[in-house]
A = this chain, B = another copy of it.
Amino acid sequence: MALVVQKFGGSSVADAASIQRVARRIVETKRAGDDVVVVVSAMGDTTDELLDLAGQITADAPAREMDILLTAGERISMSLLAMAINELGVKARSYTGQQAGLRTDTRYGKASIVGVVPERILKAIDAGQVAIVAGFQGVNELNDVTTLGRGGSDTTAVALAAALQADVCEIYTDVDGLFTADPRIVPAARRVDRITYEETLELAAHGAKILHLRAVEYARRYGVPLHVRSSFSNKEGTWVTDKPVGTEAEEEAMEDPIISGVAHDRSQGKITVVGVPDVPGIAAKLFEVVAGAEANVDMIVQNISTQRTGRTDISFTLPEADGRATMRAIEEAEDTLQFTEVRYDDQIGKLSLVGAGMRSHPGVSAKLFGALSKAGINIEMISTSEIRISVVTRIEDLDAAVRAVHTAFDLDSDESEAVVYGGTGR
């Protein structure tokens, strides 16, 4: 008998029929002998509808009030799900974040979990009940409701699984697991059976949308095994753990590095600061200005300066949402930075190849660059980590780049999987 935490996103509970389907799935697990704690998001479009209502009233809602408003969504889905499970003859009780002991700091709209005290959930488990917990929300020291921001429900599920020492945290979504690439772009993409937290983090940080970065970080820190799987089938999905792929024997037999997948990201922009003086400390000054604009810088490239001019160019990428404010901050610092020009480019795409042991296999980058070159795709920027290589291309070349790299690393499946690769909601 195991303790299983199951997380269902908004698209899995979009209407009464979906809620009943999810209820049957939960009841199956319970009847098979496991204890089940469920974390649920708001129904389908509820959050958008509430945001729309708020938007009709104000463009500048106080964050505290917005959190109270949005948490109504999970209150609805969790109680309906509890009703549906009770209707199937299994006892279920629903709990708000406050009732489940999800304690957070006071940063409304993007609160961090500071502790989980799941007394009532433990009591429910002891009483043989299925506990349904509202995702995405907690309570702060003022007894005010907070929301956890993007990926909040995944984080709730992982945090509860850690606090309850659950055997597994199952993340249900509308696809069968994590794929070697977005199947909408690469129809031959394969489902990954096992993957490490680190690789999943790299994929999530560089554009893959199935699992939220924050939930994976939490799972890694507390060693919570994640199982990403489809709510529409009983197939095994992708296991995310700290163990590398395969058994030790298998590993030794393998010479090639293990490639987990190809992520892509269309949401970045590139700023190029042209003609800054090539003197020590200039990059520090620039990124102080950028940090002041609260931009999350991703890749940075500095050209080698030409002896003749004593000037250099610095390019970096950042989320498009941060573009305008960052450009303004740089332009206002013209006196300090002494650049000749600053340019913004939102027509870039980023491809990231993620896998274990890349650094120790120089052949990986060579193969990657070769594949792109053969496909006639120009590389504008490059950055690497222990288990990742990212390149920036023109946005219109991105899909072709993903396909070329996927094929070059022998990731293509024999049979095409006809699935739609989607986000998990919040």
Contact = CB atoms under 8 A, between A and B. Distances in A.
Interface stretch (A50-58, A208-216, A317-325, A406-414): A50-58
A84 interface: yes
A57 B83 contact: yes
Given A16-B56, A53-B16, A99 B143 contact: yes
A120 B144 CA distance: 11
A69 B76 CA distance: 5
A68 B94 contact: yes
Residue among A65, A72, A98, A143 with most chain B CB within 10 A: A65
Main secondary structure of the interface of A (DSSP, over half): helix
Contact of A87 (B19, B58, B96): B58
A76 B50 contact: yes
A116 interface: no
Interface string A270-307: 00000000000000000000000000000000000000
Contact of A83 (B61, B98, B143): B61
A164 to B, nearest CB: 19
Interface in A71-106: 71-73, 75-76, 78-80, 82-84, 86-87, 93-94, 96, 98-99
A53 B72 CA distance: 15
A87 B84 CA distance: 40
B69 A75 contact: yes
Contacts of A69: 75-76, 79-80, 83
B76 A62 contact: no
A337 interface: no
A64 interface: yes
